[in-house]
Structure 1
Amino acid sequence: MDRFWIAIDWLALVLSWVSLAGWAVTFASTLATLYLVAEHWRLRAAGTARESALLAHGLPPDEDLPHVVVQIPTYNEGAMVARALDAAIALDWPRDRLHIQVLDDSTDGSTLFARQEAADRRALGFDVLVIHRTNRTEYKAGALAHAMTLTRHDFFAILDVDYVPQPDFLRKTMTCLLAAPNLAFIQARFDYINRDANDLTRTQAVLLDAHLAIEQGTRCWGGHPLPFNGTCGVWRREAIEAAGGWRGGTLAEDLDLSYRAWRIGRRGSFLMSVPVPGELPETMKAWMTQQQRWTKGFGEVMLRLLWPILGDASLSLADRCRAAIHLGVWWSGIAWGVALPAGVAAVLLASPLRWTLAALLLGQLAVGYVALFLFLRAGNLSLRPGATTFGRFLRDFLFVSRDLFRIGAAIGPAQREVIFRKRSEFVRTPKSAAQTAYAEPVPVPVPAAADLRLPGGSPRS
């Protein structure tokens, strides 16, 4: 019997230390979040001024503009192709230099519909091509890579089928790429067609605003690795090829390519002031599908690239630390999932550290929630100043907290698949083809001295 209780004591002690290690990882993630919030406000004025200066460069005359290929990946999304093509042909770019590829991997009747819609636009004088693959080899990455081989042009604008860019999207993104030849890609900011469809879409909008402003914006301004978000951006062919091309070895081909480009010195830039409205999932099932794919894809890239980056002597120590902060945050969800049950079990087994563990649990919950609130509110205030009262935001935050717990449980299988290196299919986020009128976002404030006029005095909008 004594051996039994000795074993229980040892088990309690082991669980205590496992829980403490988990809390250390989650606390490090919390500190990283607070660091980004502080950096955002420190860098914001200078960052938005640089963005304004980049946009103010202007473009050459139309006859000297480069050819741009607009790529629209689609998979069994039916009539949504029509809206995407309408937005593509409305882009303000010389018609003879605008080429549209519908990258269709559909297995249902969507392909026939896409071909008819493409034929209708060709009849209007636009270069629109449907590229249909009979298999989904390497999924979206495979479709993008295959389509690149069918054209000789040097710039590729990637727009998922549910995003509706403004006509000036190419004018603004290409202004920046042509003004800064060292840039591999330009990433525009997501906005939302159906932000107010229900409480779930508001939850996603709050989360994405913080991601785009506090994470993407701050990383761009601070010289951190900047991930491409998979859509609403323009890439140079040369940068894609130099980085090794699109690869389908993970479910996050966008993150994978942007990190490979970053490692060879090719950087991206994020445009806070250029919104592209798209559709948010309107049901919990659709959102879970999206989050499971994003979670697994991020984890796959982290396992594939984090250790090589940390051991890459060609990168500065600061760059390696920045990459570790970004990619390493994936482990915080795993750490929380381990620390909580291990700590509870240790307390129930009367571990000598039980009071320390109980205090850590309550402290991490409190600090974590404060950090989450500050992160989300900072994103809201930065992107939409004055648009959301504190009371309304507090209500939104309560819904966010509830939905994050639900998502946390749903992504567990995806996290386990990453750890055990189990491959899975690229499951597209189900779409509802929201037709809600798009409301212009509140413009991001820029320094008063910023002059957004092009040479000759005419504004480009």
Structure 2
Amino acid sequence: MAIFYALHVLSVIGLIVLGANTFLVALVYLKHRHDNALDPPQVTDWPAVLVQLPIYNEQHVVERLIDAVAALDYPRDRLTVQLLDDSTDGTVTIAAAAVDRARQRGLNIKHVRRPKRTGYKAGALQHGLELNTAPFVAIFDADFIPEPDFLKRTIPAFLADDRLGIVQARWTHLNEEENLLTRSLSLAFNQHYLIEQTAQHRGGMISNFTGSAGVMRRAAIDDSGGWSARTLSEDLDLSYRMHLRGWGFLYLPDVTVPAEFPELMMSLKRQQERWAIGTTQCLLRLGPEMVSAPQVTFAQKLLALLRMGVYFVHPLLAVYALTALPLVWSGELGSTIWPILFGAATLGLPFQIVMAELQLGRSRWKRLTLLVPYVLMGFGLLVNNCLAVAQAFSKREQEFKRTPKFSAGRGWVASSYVLTMDITTLLELVLGVILVLTGVVAITRAPTTAPSLLVMGAGLLYVAGYSIVQTLAAAKMDSEGQTLLGLAD
């Protein structure tokens, strides 16, 4: 049992390190929360801008996206839009019609199709760059709806700083109130975009473009090697390479762009899988270069490594839980301080969430009750994200599996993009039951460990149960005559 106990302790130490990072970010935010960005210059001669819209099978939202971009308030002779369409379904026809309507409104928009989906999103973006020479590039994913003044609020910053490589806006969400899942996710995204991103930028940490709702300097992209499909987090990869080349980053939390949360638990799991694989791949590929870079400070290196290693939290949780099983059942764990330290390490994110909700207004205090499903969701993604981190170590190419979008408010049940439960749901059920039963036993044998096992087990059952309920709802619709086609890749 000594080996189990040693691994148990080591997992807690790892969780404490990751948890300490969340507290550090919170402190940096508190220190810099009132810092103001410099006023951008007044612009009379607007530069050329390329707007790239990478899409893949987005028939529910592509028209809305094109309509929003067509409404951008920017000189038409300085604006080019590329719809980078790798779709294989009815999206192609819908998009073509929407592009024609936008052209009739005077928008210079190109419907760009490729024979193969080489390089996935990164490949599409790089292909688009080869067709245009505009000095600035704005990027929006399919579910985003930029405000008409987006470009006029972001482009001036580049004209004030020749070494500015990225301007990132804050994501908000159209379907925040759609269901319990989206309400819980709102806590996580508000925490990330109001607290973490602000702290990273204003505190001098290495910040990153988050894949959409941002503008990049073309010269910075080219100087840093361009878009690469070597990871599934092409945005994080390029952002860090740009920093290593000396390009700056600006975060504008007051410039917001609404998008959509995943409304299905299986959609969230797919999104988390892609992010976990991609972020871990960045750690493996960029970590050594980051550590050896002389121009990067020690603090920046440490926080960047922790940022790229964030998804190791779930393997550490798995080690904690799986080593606790034999220790509890054998009666050798007893009451120790390690579970208490484990609990303390998990409080950093809830602390940031409270700060984010306070910043959004006191009326949102009642939303803090969503911390319960948020915590359950976080623990419940253990199986999904552990498997994803393991995939990141594989040398084979990982497929970019996009997150289905359903157009907020229209419902998802009858969509052909619905994702239904898979083998991970069964694993979540089995492990969840085992952890709950062990947690009950631990109440008398290892009382300090019992709460963590019960919460982790409940989280796994919550995620599995949510997936099952939504799968049954989709199956019911299918049985009533509407065929689910599945998601074609």
- Aligning the two structures, in what range does the TM-score lie when normalised by the shorter sequence? 0.7 to 0.9
Shift of 1:317: 2.2
Deviations 1:287-319 (A, max 9, x none): 111111111111111111112211223433232
14-23 or 24-33, which deviates more:
14-23
Please give the alpha-carbon distance, in whole angstroms, between the structure 2 residues aligned to 1:395 and 1:429: 27
User: What does residue 253 of structure 1 align with?
Assistant: 234
Contact 1:417–1:423 under 8 Å retained in 2: no
Question: What's the counterpart of residue 278 of structure 2?
Answer: 297
Which residue of structure 1 lines up, in the alignment, with residue 350 of structure 2?
Answer: 373
CA contact 2:311–2:385 (8 Å) conserved in 1? no
Question: How far does residue 399 in structure 1 lie from its aligned partner after superposition?
Answer: 1.4
State whether residues 224 and 241 of structure 2, in contact with CA within 8 Å, keep that contact through their aligned partners in structure 1: yes
Counterpart-to-counterpart distance in 1, 2:236 and 2:297: 20
Residue 183 of structure 1 corresponds to which residue in structure 2? Answer: 164
State the alpha-carbon separation in 1 of the partners of residues 104 and 309 from structure 2: 50
Q: Is the 8 A contact 1:79 1:113 kept in 2?
A: no
Offset of 1:281 from its aligned partner?
A: 1.1
Give 1:453's aligned residue.
none
Cα RMSD (Å) of the superposition?
Answer: 1.7
How does 1:12-23 map onto structure 2 within 5 Å?
Answer: 12-23=1-12
2:406 to 413, 416, 432: 432
Deviation at 1:250, TM superposition (A): 0.8
Q: Is 1:386–2:362 an aligned residue pair?
A: yes
Deviation at 1:350, TM superposition (A): 5.5
Letter of the structure 2 residue corresponding to residue 45 of structure 1: H
Aligned to 2:173: 192
Q: Is the 8 A contact 1:203 1:396 kept in 2?
A: yes
Q: Which residue of 1 aligns with 2:40?
A: 57
2:168 and 2:215 in contact (8 A); partners too: yes
Measure the CA separation in 1 of the matches of 2:278 and 2:194. 22
| Structure 1 residue 221 corresponds to structure 2 residue 202 | yes
Number of the residue aligned with 1:404: 378
Task: Write out per-residue CA displacement over residues 256-308 of structure 1, whole angstroms, 9 at most, x where no aligned residue.
Answer: 00011111111211111111001111111111111111111111111111122
Which has the larger displacement, 305-314 or 122-131? Answer: 305-314
Cα-to-partner distance string for 1:359-405 (whole Å, 9 max, x where unaligned): 3124412x1443332121112223x122302xx23311111112222
Distance 1:288 1:327 in 2: 19
d(CA) in 1 for partners of 2:4, 2:273: 28
Instruction: For residue 175 of structure 1, report the CA deviation from its aligned partner.
Output: 1.6
Shift of residue 324, structure 1, vs aligned partner: 2.2
For residues 208 and 84 of structure 1, the distance between their equivalents in structure 2, rounded to whole angstroms, comes to 21
Q: What amino acid is the match of 1:273? A: D
What's the CA shift for 1:339? Answer: 2.3
CA 148–285 in structure 1, closer or farther in 2 if over 3 Å, else same: same
Alignment of 1:335-354 (within 5 A): 335-349=316-330, 351=332, 354=333
Higher mean C-alpha displacement, 250-259 vs 70-79: 70-79
Q: Distance in 2 between matches of 1:30 and 1:315?
A: 23
**Structure 1 residue identity aligned to 2:304:** A
In the alignment, the residues of structure 1 paired with residue 10 and residue 155 of structure 2 have an alpha-carbon distance, to the nearest angstrom, of 47
Q: Which residue of 1 is the match for residue 305 of structure 2?
A: 324
Deviation at 1:329, TM superposition (A): 2.7
Count of matched residue positions in the alignment of Structure 1 and Structure 2: 410
Q: Any stretches of 5+ residues in structure 2 without a counterpart? A: 411-489
- The aligned runs of 1:47-126 (5 Å cut-off) are 49-50=36-37, 53=38, 56-61=39-44, 64-126=45-107
State the TM-score, normalizing by the size of structure 1: 0.85
Note if contact 1:156-1:236 (Cα within 8 Å) is conserved in structure 2. yes
Letter in 2 for 1:430: P
Shift of 1:240: 0.3
Cα shift at 1:347? 4.4
Q: Report the counterpart of residue 13 of structure 2 in structure 1.
A: 24
Distance 1:150 1:69, change over 3 A: same
Aligned to 1:360: 338
Provide the secondary structure at the position in 1 that maps to 2:165. strand
- CA deviations over 1:5-50 (Å, ceiling 9, x no partner): xxxxxxx11221112111111001111111111111111112xx12
User: SS where residue 45 of structure 1 aligns?
Assistant: coil
Deviation of 1:180 (Å): 2.0
Residue type of the partner of 1:429?
T
> Greater relative contact order: 1 or 2 (C-alpha under 8 angstroms, separation 6 or more)?
1
Q: Output one character per residue of 1:71-116: Cα deviation in whole Å (capped at 9) or x when no partner.
A: 1111011252211111111111001111110000011121122122
Contact 2:170 2:255 in 1 (8 A): yes
Residue 349 of structure 1: CA displacement?
Answer: 4.4
Is the alpha carbon distance of 1:78 and 1:343 closer, same or farther for their aligned partners in structure 2, counting shifts above 3 Å?
same
CA–CA distance in structure 1, aligned partners of residues 375 and 231 of structure 2 = 29
Distance between the aligned counterparts of 1:394 and 1:124, measured in 2? 45
By how many angstroms is 1:170 displaced?
0.5
Q: Residue 164 of structure 1: SS of its match in structure 2?
A: coil
Match of 2:29 in 1: 40
Matches within 5 A, 1:242-321: 242-321=223-302
Does the residue aligned with 2:337 lie in a helix, a strand or coil? Answer: helix
User: Counterparts of 1:187 and 1:329 in 2: how far apart (Å)?
Assistant: 21
Instruction: Report the CA distance between 1:247 and its aligned residue.
Output: 0.2
**TM-superposed deviation, 1:119:** 1.6
Is residue 41–residue 159 contact of structure 2 (8 Å, CA) maintained in 1?
no
**SS of alignment partner, residue 184 of structure 1:** strand
Distance 2:234 2:283 in 1: 12
Could you tell me whether the CA contact under 8 Å between 2:262 and 2:405 is conserved in 1?
Answer: yes
CA distance in 2, matches of 1:266, 1:355: 53
List per-residue Cα deviations over 1:403-452 (Å, max 9, x = no partner). 2222223222212212344532111101111158xxxxxxxxxxxxxxxx
Aligned letter for 2:6? W
Does the 8 Å CA contact 1:340/1:361 hold for their aligned counterparts? no
Check conservation: 2:194, 2:253, Cα contact below 8 A: yes
